[in-house]
Structure 1
Amino acid sequence: MQTDKERYLWLLSRLLSGDISGEEQRELEALTHADPQRRKESEWLQAYWKNNEEKGDEDSTRAAFARLTTQMNAADPALWPASDVKATAVIPENAGEAAEQYLAEEQAPPVKWYMLLARMAAAIFFLVGTWYLLDSTGLLPGREDGLRAEYNIRGTRSHIKLADGTSVWLNADSELKYPLRFKGGTREVYLKGEAFFEVTPDAAKPFIVHTETMHINVLGTSFNVKAYPGDKVTEATLISGAVEVQLKNQADKKIRLKPAEKLVVTNGKDSMQDQPQPGVPVISTATYFPKEDSAIIETAWIDNKLIFHDESFTSLATRMERWYNVSIRFENTTIQQLRFTGMFRNETVTQALEALQLTEQFNYRRGEDAIIIY
């Protein structure tokens, strides 16, 4: 099964070859717009390919196609026969020039088909080679200072191993930018969204996580950061070790967290009633669910659990959108204030909503582009 990146590369090669269908082009646009970094890369690759195509010639295109068919034949001879020569027809001596010309045309290789595939092959060779070469070195355009970007669309999670051995679990709808190699006296990464870090200790090189509202400085520890740009709050939850948090709007103030402590900072001007004023840091304890269990709500997503405790429907709906890759809208604002406690793991979004209906009364329907709660 193709990954999103592999599918994206294939569709982009179809676009460059001029053989993409309308449905495939719409799919390509959806994959491109789902990732802001991919949009930049797509524009650059198309411009680079156009320039490369203008400088190319038919011989190089045929050579690229020949390399592709050789590789396919070596991998599976039945998939791509080594010879595609038609049987030679016998032309009677008295057939005349017209018959000879007709049969010659019938037996001639389908040049248009050949060149179309050759053009596609050249596009694929160029794209895949260029992509992975630049991606492996962190030099794709749009990546500041050679930073590599890992982005998860909604409904997906991933694990990243950094050069120093640090492990990062990246949640849905999140982006992490990091260098392939850490240079200098620090190890710095940039996060939009949510991630859990298990940092390899190195007293000589502090590990720093940058978000829109705070810098988190650690030496070796495990912690969770939730910093979605559109959310009401930014959270840093320490599991083990020690971290020091510096707020961007209070550069002279540094806050140290102890294990099982959580720092919450309200973003923007529209703060919630149960949250402090914007920019004011509050330290609380990590939330366990249930009380006698060792599962921490803030990090349960790593174990593929969506746990919520006395959470408003508005907040839960936002998390469910990322978890299930759906859009949820409310027609009744009163329902947004309903509060829920529970856990989802393998349930579908329909099963999850039906489970919530067992504790609170509300209805829902599926629209063309969203689930409507009323």
Structure 2
Amino acid sequence: MHNSIDWTLVGKIVANEATDAERQQFDDWLSAHPEQKPLLDNLRRFWLTADAKLPNDPLDMARAFERLQQRIENEKVDESPAGSRWRVRRWVGWAAAASVAIAVGVWSWLQIQTPAPQAAALVEQINQKGTRSQIRLADGSVVWLNADSHLRFPKAFTGNLREVTLEGEAFFKVTPNPKQPFVVRLATGSVRVLGTSFNIRAYPGDTTVETSVVTGRVAFIAKPAATEQKTGSKSATTQKDTLLLTPNTKAIQSLTRHSVATEPTVAVNQIAWTESKLVFRNTPMGEVAKTLERWYGTPVTLERESLRHCPLTGTFQNQSLREVMNLIAMTNRFQYELTPSQVTIKGPGCDGQ
């Protein structure tokens, strides 16, 4: 008689985890089998008034329902009129079996629905434009986070890797731990540390991602979509390659050409920003404008597109935006207009050069 009951569906209903469609299915079934309603109502009542919270283990679940069965039996035996005990015990048998079925249904359903155990709680450091910060991680590593950048990291490193996620620019000085490598996740790849200190510049919207090594060794692994082409004189990776970088070397990932190459660099210039220095070495004015906007938090625009590729060389330290613009204007190639809300860089541009 009771074999027609879908106990998994009943379990979802009791656990309040059924969808609207499943609830409708249950109501339709109950309308077609009204003789089952007293049994199900009693089971629901005993389930919902059980003392213990829902166990996490099926063995605990079974023990909980043994106690539930005893409660059902005691209550029904005490309330039963003489001469009907055999019917009560038959109902108790059905109820006990149904209780266990509901237990299995509820437990199984919740196991499907319950998320896997969470990793260590994440901390987010978000630097707005014009803001820089220094962060000490749980393993003693230190991160200098540049302006307009976002770092996510766990409160404590667990598992086989020490993983953080970066958007923007940061300089990492990592505490060595061969048993737990340090990995920086980027939108376009990842950096695995074999040494101690390196700089990553990976701003959303930029056409390149740069990883520069100061000390030790670093492995740069680009996502496949970014490693499909070869470059000419520079060594590019294939999809399965990993670039091993040594001091004063940097990897340049081109997001427009879908290539990755290495080239020599002066590492101290790459991390000069950690000492409040802005260093430009034949840097296109379009990139200079982005850097100044992030550094000072003031929008910087170019009057005309032809200014975008004009190179600038210069070093600035602990100077105001107006002081920097005055020095740039002294090159006689650029003029500027500074208002409280923005900077506009002017000039004839560099077309034809």
Corresponding residue number in structure 1 for 2:249: 261
Following superposition, the deviation at residue 144 of structure 1 comes to: 8.5
Give the aligned partner of residue 261 of structure 2: 282
Contact 1:199 1:222 (C-alpha < 8 Å) held by counterparts: yes
Cα distance in 2 for partners of 1:248, 1:176 equals 20
CA contact (8 A) 1:199 1:219 kept: no
Return the alpha-carbon distance in structure 1 between the equivalents of residues 245 and 195 of structure 2: 13
- Deviating beyond 4 angstroms after TM superposition, the runs of 4 or more aligned structure 1 residues are none
Deviation at 1:365, TM superposition (A): 1.7
Instruction: Give the unaligned 5+ runs of structure 2.
Output: 1-117, 228-238, 347-353
Q: Which amino acid is the alignment partner of residue 334 of structure 2?
A: F
Is the CA contact 2:152–2:166 (under 8 Å) kept in the aligned structure 1? yes
Q: Which amino acid in the other structure matches residue 262 of structure 1? A: K
For residues 185-211 of structure 1, the C-alpha deviation after alignment (integer angstroms, 9 at most, x for no partner) is: 110000000000111111110000001
**Structure 1: runs of 5+ lacking an equivalent:** 1-142, 270-276, 289-295
| Shift in Å, 1:217 | 0.8
Query: Which of residues 188, 194, 197 in structure 1 aligns to 2:172?
Result: 197
Deviation at 1:332, TM superposition (A): 1.9
1:330 CA drift (Å): 1.4
- 8 Å contact from structure 2 (residues 322, 338) kept in 1: no
Corresponding residue of 1:233: 208
Secondary structure of 2:165's counterpart equals strand
Cα displacement (A) at 1:154 = 1.0
Structure 1 match to 2:299? 327
Q: Distance in 1 between matches of 2:310 and 2:248?
A: 28
Amino acid at match of 1:286: T
Question: Are the structure 2 counterparts of residues 144 and 343 from structure 1 closer, same or farther at C-alpha, using a change threshold of 3 Å?
Answer: farther
Amino acid at match of 1:178: F
Q: Distance in 1 between matches of 2:266 and 2:330?
A: 24
Q: TM-score, normalised by structure 1?
A: 0.55
Matches within 5 A, 1:297-312: 297-312=269-284
Residue identity opposite 2:146 in structure 1: N
Question: Which amino acid letter does the alignment assign opposite residue 282 of structure 1?
Answer: A
Structure possessing the higher radius of gyration over alpha carbons: 2
Give the 3-state SS of the residue equivalent to 2:292 in structure 1.
Answer: helix
Q: Percent identity?
A: 35
CA contact (8 A) 1:202 1:219 kept: no
Partner Cα distance (2:334, 2:282) in 1 = 17
Secondary structure at 2:324's aligned position in 1?
helix
Give the aligned residue type for 1:358: M
1:165 aligned residue: 140
Counterpart in the other structure of 1:181 = 156
Aligned to 2:105: none
What's the offset of the Cα at 1:317?
0.8
Alignment of 1:348-363 (within 5 A): 348-363=320-335
Please name the residue that 2:316 is paired with: 344
Aligned residues: 216
Q: SS at 1:353's partner residue? A: helix
